[in-house]
Amino acid sequence: MSEKEAETPGKRTRPGPRKVTPKYLENAALFYLQRFATSAANLRRVLMRKVERSARFHGTDPAEGAQWVDALIARFVASQLLDDALYAESRAQSLRRRGASGRTIALSLRQKGVEGEIIDTAMAAADEAEEKPELAAAARLARKRRLGPWRAAEGRREARERDLAALARAGFSYDVALAVIDAEGPADLEGEGSL
């Protein structure tokens, strides 16, 4: 018993990570996929963290664990449990509906390990429903955050620069932000997609 454990009587110590086996990795991957949609590269990162923790704690071979993870990912891709194109398209559409800019969506997908070609295809699919998808997404975000035309009329002029900055930080171009923030009212933007 360490000194720290002796100082805090009654406090249970947390057990270390489980030893990684092929079956454990498969169960962990399936449990993760039940809760989250993900890309193959992101699932690989999640599983490799488990392998690395097991290697540090139990002294297992991380190279062997990496082989198990690669075989598991290949099997899941072959059986279509993992489909980067489907994941990217669904994620892009979801983010677009929430008012995310094209830059934000592409960055989010890149961070999850989705390849550039797949991102481009997913963005095209997400944007085909609207004539001006960036403007429609910016209008959705402005409505959600009560910026520009959705702000009370008396405080609108004073908040103009802050509203423009909020849309710029969200990844929208200056022209798109200006079109949304300087619109007379929400009715002027209603034709820009389903707001």
For the stretch 112-123, pLDDT in tens is 999 999 999 999
Does residue 169 carry a pLDDT above 90?
yes
Q: Which residues contact 177 (CB under 8 A, 6 or more apart)?
A: 138, 163, 164, 167, 168
- For the cut 50, the answer to whether the pLDDT of residue 1 exceeds it is no
| Interval 141-159: pLDDT, tens | 999 999 999 999 898 999 9
Mapped onto helix, strand or coil, the DSSP state of residue 182 is coil
pLDDT band at 192 (very low <50, low <70, confident <90, very high): low
Cα–Cα distance measured from residue 20 to residue 62, given in angstroms and rounded to the nearest whole number: 10
Predicted confidence at residue 2, as pLDDT, reads 47
pLDDT of 25: 97
Q: Are 136 and 95 in contact (CB under 8 A)?
A: no
DSSP strand E in 19-147: where? Answer: none
Determine phi and psi for 126, rounding to 5 degrees.
-70, -30
| CA distances to 59, 72, 157 from 29, in Å | 22, 9, 52
The pTM for the full model equals 0.82
CB atoms within 10 A of CB 110: 12
pLDDT category at 5 given cuts 50, 70, 90 is very low
Place of tokens 């993870």: 69
In which band, very low, low, confident or very high, does the pLDDT at 129 lie, cut at 50, 70 and 90? Answer: confident
Q: What are phi and psi of 85, to 5 degrees?
A: -65, -45
